[in-house]
Structure 1
């Protein structure tokens, strides 16, 4: 593997590139990966400009549930292999920061990570700002202006408090995270055009990041609303595993490998 990828210098260059991609008029489409081979396959596509990892997907591929249940060392080892096989900027899902967002980011930058998602988990706002600030400052200490895609769980964990309350909370938190040095604000949830427009108006054009889930808008529709980035979380892995499950069922019924199957696992 190419260990020259594992440097803060490379991360610094790619962090600048990633920030420019967020600010560009065209929405950044990132297909989430979970291991070296999925990263390589996506990296080789002509339309790929950046790679994003899915923390849930990496954890699942090692037999762990989501939510920082996978040991940090194992998560970082998986990220290292992804960085090694991709020539593109890599934005890593670092969950909630593993109790020390600064140290986690310092180690991630050291292996070439140029961007990160960190969840606020609806902690009190002042605590959440401290987490985001620690992440940004730790990267800066390594010479990297981290492209932090600060995640607010205003919709995911908002319960039954209502859409208006979720929007207001996401905007307040998003603005605070941008003030703390975040590049973009990730608001996961199935967001319709009206809600998305309010979030963009409140947080800023090309400052909002969304997730493409069943029932969500298309990337082009989000782009027209001023969204910076769309990612897909664990869904690409779910699609791949669904295909594997259906193939296995077919093979158990005396099926055959489909014609046209590509050999994509040469590393």
Structure 2
């Protein structure tokens, strides 16, 4: 599947009959394990990629390391990849456009880009530059605009739906293809957001969120694991290491583990 075919396929997944469940990888190995389970597409998690390089989330990962990671993943994948770019790794929209061009060159067909605590107008300018950069390379990039109204509590609870939809209109006009209402959990809010925008709505899998079938009924088109899988695995790694350091017993390593041969067979 070539680059443009993957991009077309990724766009179509947001308008299919079923909700798109996106697992978030952080390197080529984790991506290959996830791909082996039959996923139609994959995403990266900015936090998980940063942690894998010993960096913190929040624009700390050097862009060169992100590009290397994306290139390593896309070289192995047979499915579309969308990349979490945080805020584009710059406050300058032109630089964000340059970063997006490099991400597209590394094989990605989609991006997440967030407003955070910055103004929505700044994200609009970043989206415009991202769209222009991708078009110069002949790619219909899927731009998922992450609105942090819920995740960062940017307005009072009773104003969150209204503010999210206001930003959705701005981001759509700037060229966004999707709206990531990260942090929204209440069914009534979710339904109102989905009904109030033409953009496919993406949510973040969090405790207390309705399950995928109910989210689909409410109008959600995409659900992301975010950094949740990586967080759970790091906790398990700490637990296993702690046990080993206490007793030297390797019995726990085999519990709920993939075998050496199974893992090695996936890495091709």
TM-score when normalising by structure 1: 0.90
1:200 aligns with 2:194: yes
- State the match for 2:210 in structure 1: 217
- State the match for 2:26 in structure 1: 34
Contact preservation (8 Å) 2:184, 2:190: no
CA distance in structure 2 between the partners assigned to 1:250 and 1:221 by the alignment: 39
Following superposition, the deviation at residue 224 of structure 1 comes to 1.1
Following superposition, the deviation at residue 49 of structure 1 comes to 0.3
Per-residue deviation, residues 105-142 of structure 1 (Å, max 9, x unmatched): 10011111000000112422322211111111110110
- State the match for 2:56 in structure 1: 65
Aligned to 2:157, which of 157, 163, 170? 163
- State the match for 1:246 in structure 2: 239
| Higher RCO structure (Cα 8 Å, ≥6 apart) | 1
CA distance in structure 2 between the partners assigned to 1:26 and 1:260 by the alignment: 30
The 1:56/1:29 distance shift into structure 2, 3 A limit, reads same
Gaps of 5+ in 2: none
CA distance in structure 2 between the partners assigned to 1:29 and 1:198 by the alignment: 21
Aligned to 1:92, which of 72, 83, 98? 83
CA distance in structure 2 between the partners assigned to 1:260 and 1:74 by the alignment: 31
Following superposition, the deviation at residue 76 of structure 1 comes to 0.9
Aligned to 1:24, which of 16, 30, 42? 16
Comparing 243-252 with 170-179, greater Cα deviation is found at 243-252
CA distance in structure 2 between the partners assigned to 1:72 and 1:144 by the alignment: 21
Q: Secondary structure at the match of 2:58?
A: coil
CA distance in structure 2 between the partners assigned to 1:152 and 1:86 by the alignment: 28
Aligned to 2:71, which of 80, 85, 100? 80
Q: Secondary structure at the match of 1:112?
A: coil
TM-score when normalising by structure 2: 0.90
Pairs aligned (count): 256
CA distance in structure 2 between the partners assigned to 1:81 and 1:242 by the alignment: 25
Following superposition, the deviation at residue 44 of structure 1 comes to 1.1
Task: Please give the residue correspondences for 1:122-141 in structure 2 after superposition, counting only pairs within 5 Å.
Answer: 122-141=117-136
RMSD of the TM alignment (CA)?
A: 1.7
Following superposition, the deviation at residue 183 of structure 1 comes to 1.3
1:101 aligns with 2:93: no
